Chain A
Amino acid sequence: MNLALAKNETGRGLSDSFAVARDRLPGTGKVAEARSAAFEAYESVGLPHRRIEDWKYTDLRASMRDVLPLAPAPDEAALKRAAAAVKLQSIRGVRRLALVDGVFVPKLSDLDGLENGVAVATLRGVLESGEATLQAQLLTLDNANPMVALNTAMMTDGVVIQVADGVVRTQPLQIIHVATGTTPAAIFTRSLLRLGKDAGATLIESYIAADGATTYQVHDSLIVAIGDNARLDHVRLVEDAREAFNISSAVITLGARAHFNTFGMTSGAVVSRYQATIAFAGEHSRVETNGVNLLNGRQHADTTLFMDHAVPNCASREVFRAVVDDRGHSVFQGRIIVRPHAQKTDAKMMTRALLLSDEAEADNKPELEIFADDVTCGHGATTGALDESLLFYLRARGLSEKQAQALLIQAFVGEAIESIVNDDLRELAISAAQRWLEARA
């Protein structure tokens, strides 16, 4: 145990703040035991640093330094500011589930008229109710990763969504994380989505800040189980405040003949990490994962994907693009494992980075571990600047340098955004990219 590392700025140990927070953390019995075990696991390592291989490029001990105290539940004024922020993000035809400072807020959520076969509960509710199956699923995450362990110890709320077998054409669901705190604080959330056999759903995760929220930490996790022959479309947009941290983990498991299409874009937060494990548990399933980082200033964004081909006949595609300006730093770590017997695996990974300044940095770390012999696996990576001849052509037609760059950047990320199937969600991603481009103009 390294107490020095667990101290926060007030000089109080994190273990004390865990003790202080404990009364506010839902769940007793097994849940409380799991929290204690997770916290011990976290404390034995502390914040991960660069000497831990998996965190080589994202040294939280250096950048985050401390885990901030648990955010207080939002008061009326905070909710009002959250409502204003949420309104700006509202998407046509999408059912909103709002988490404000780590607390589910029914008032800002659309819970009326849920389709038959769709159930939404809160994490708090499930942890307190003693619902054994769901609780067990919520507590499956491995304590080996310190940030996951910390999340298990401290999670306060989230949503638990269940879509019954055969339920398709459900209204898209948006989990919107809003931070309102004007004093530095940490938010811990966890959500679960269970998609039954032959079911279909669309999930959007948005991370935003209310006006005035600047320095905060988001610690989130998502557990998804996609049933046989089910399909999930997933869009994840990180637009946190420029001083905020966002550390999120996801574990997605696919049954047989299932399909998972995911698009993620990070344009906010000063330091962010999205670590996702995608595991094939049934044959003939398919995953497409597309990601975009749009970074400037001193933003650092890390996407760490682990594609686990545990069974034969599955396909995965990873396409990742980064646009990095100023002293921004983009990290992509893609690990693909093809386990013995996972024959006929078809796995590909491609990353492209666009560096807009001399000090911008993009790191790519592909890792392929292949233990089966009849597979198609490949990876590729390119890094470069904007094409000068294209820039000149556009400028010779009257576009300013920034405008010309913006158009070429849009084209660069556009290819990834095209992977979003739903028109409205594609528009949402385009406008998030637009906001980033306008902010740098």
Chain B
Amino acid sequence: MTALLEVKDLKVRVEEREILHGLTLTVNAGEVHAIMGPNGSGKSTLSHVIAGKPGYEVTGGEILFKGEDLLEMEPNERAAKGVFLAFQYPVEIPGVATMNFLRTALNAQRKARGESEFSTPDFLKKVREVAKSLNIPQDMLKRGVNVGFSGGEKKRNEILQMALFEPAICILDEMDSGLDIDALRVAADGVNALRSPERAMVVITHYQRLLNYIVPDVVHVMSKGRVVKSGGKELALELEASGYAQFEDAA
């Protein structure tokens, strides 16, 4: 069986500075991986490169998604293939109504996959169902994308999109940043509801706390642009107790 996501010896530069120095990571369908590590270890860079954010230069290695070269694809092609990045800081887009955005995005993905576009009533029905399960009031959907949303609302909106687009792999970039414990629990419940044997998740976080709610199958420790240790969920607890310092030298 082909792995869902294979990152092989990935080297990435941003403006002359190498951030990832040969990172390797394999994620299979159905698995939840956590990537932990201190600030500046390259966690967010990895998520951005997987999603196709401009401004990063890949100088070595490759990323395969279902065996296909992901780096050759435009960001929207990656989305249509089933790659979803939940942003650490979801942007506010004034003047673009959330509903209009959701429908345009969903139908663009479906069209790219050769599927029929959703009719308006079907789409509305689907959004309402998902919104209800995430406790997102209809009023929020009428506003501009993320405009005036609290931190928790923005993250819920990311999970709403995840539920709507049904991606094959979800990269959650510091989903816990800026969330209080209640907001975190709601967001984590939303993510857990989407766990399935066909879908993989990569949870990027500083803190072990999030992993109490989203329990990973595999934990990786990143330091200075490489994965320096991988293990089971108990590795996260170990890190919480001893900190990242022990890995700084290893890298």
* Residues on the A chain within 8 Å of B80, using CB: 398
Question: In the bound complex, what is the Cα–Cα distance between A41 and B106 (angstroms)?
Answer: 61
Chain B residues closer than 8 Å to A410, beta-carbon distance: 95-96
Within the complex, what minimum Cβ distance (angstroms) separates B115 from chain A? 12
Q: Does A134 contact B (CB under 8 A)?
A: no
The winner among A390, A397, A401 for most chain B CB atoms within 10 A is: A397
Give chain B residues whose Cβ lies under 8 Å from the Cβ of A399: 76, 104-105, 108
- Name the interface size band of chain B: 20 to 34
Q: Given the complex, which residues of A lie within 8 Å of B104, measured CB to CB?
A: 399, 403, 407
- List A contacts of B53 (CB < 8 A): 392, 396
The digit string for A117-129, where 1 denotes a CB below 8 A from any CB of B, is 0000000000000
Interface residues in B58-97 (C-beta closer than 8 Å to A): 74-76, 78-80, 84-85, 87, 90-91, 93-96
B residues neighboring A (CB under 8 Å)? 51-54, 74-76, 78-80, 84-85, 87, 90-91, 93-96, 100-101, 104-106, 108-109, 112, 144, 161, 165
The answer to whether A395 touches B76, judged by C-beta atoms less than 8 angstroms apart, is yes
Known interface pairs A403-B104, A407-B96, A407-B101. Does A396 touch B112 (Cβ–Cβ under 8 Å)? no
Q: Are B108 and A392 in contact (CB under 8 A)?
A: no
Within 8 A of B (CB), among A381-422: 387-390, 392-401, 403-404, 407-408, 410-412, 414-415
B165 x A415 contact (CB < 8 A): no
Which residues of chain B are within 8 angstroms of A415 by Cβ–Cβ distance?
Answer: 95
How many angstroms from the CA of A52 to the CA of B108 in the assembled complex? 50
Q: How far is the CB of A411 from chain B (nearest CB, A)?
A: 3
| Residues of chain A whose beta carbon lies under 8 Å from any beta carbon of chain B | 387-390, 392-401, 403-404, 407-408, 410-412, 414-415
The contact of B52 among A388, A395, A404, A411, by CB within 8 Å, is A395
In the complex where A390-B91, A411-B96, A415-B95 touch, is A396 in contact with B106 (Cβ < 8 A)? no
* 5 closest cross-chain pairs (CB), A and B: A411-B95, A398-B109, A398-B79, A395-B75, A397-B105
Give the residue name and chain of the B residue nearest to A407 (CB): B96
| Residues on B with beta carbons closer than 8 Å to the beta carbon of A397 | 76, 79, 101, 105, 109, 161, 165
Residues in B with CB closer than 8 Å to A388 are 54
The answer to whether A393 and B91 touch (CB under 8 A), given A388-B54, A403-B104, is yes
* Cα of A400 to Cα of B74 in the assembled complex, Å: 8
CB distance from A431 to the nearest CB of B (A): 15
A438 to B42, CA, bound (A): 40
User: B87's contact among A393, A408, A414, by CB below 8 Å, is which?
Assistant: A393
User: Could you give 5 example pairs across A and B, Cβ below 8 Å?
Assistant: A392-B54, A394-B93, A396-B85, A410-B96, A411-B95
Query: Is B105's CB under 8 angstroms from A398's CB?
Result: yes
Residues of B near A395 (CB, < 8 A) are: 52, 74-76, 79
Docked-complex contact B90 and A412, CB < 8 angstroms: no
A390-B95 contact, Cβ under 8 Å, with A398-B165, A399-B76, A407-B104: no
Q: With contacts A397-B161, A407-B101 known, is A392 near B96, CB below 8 A?
A: no
Q: Chain B residues with Cβ under 8 A from A411's Cβ?
A: 93-96, 144
> A408: which B residues are within 8 A, CB to CB?
93, 96
Name which residue of chain B comes closest to A400, CB basis.
Answer: B76
Q: Which residues of A contact B84 (CB under 8 A)?
A: 396
The distance in angstroms between the C-alpha atoms of A395 and B75, with both chains bound, is 6
A412 vs B109: C-alpha distance when bound (angstroms): 24
Would you call A396 and B75 a contact (CB within 8 A)?
Answer: yes
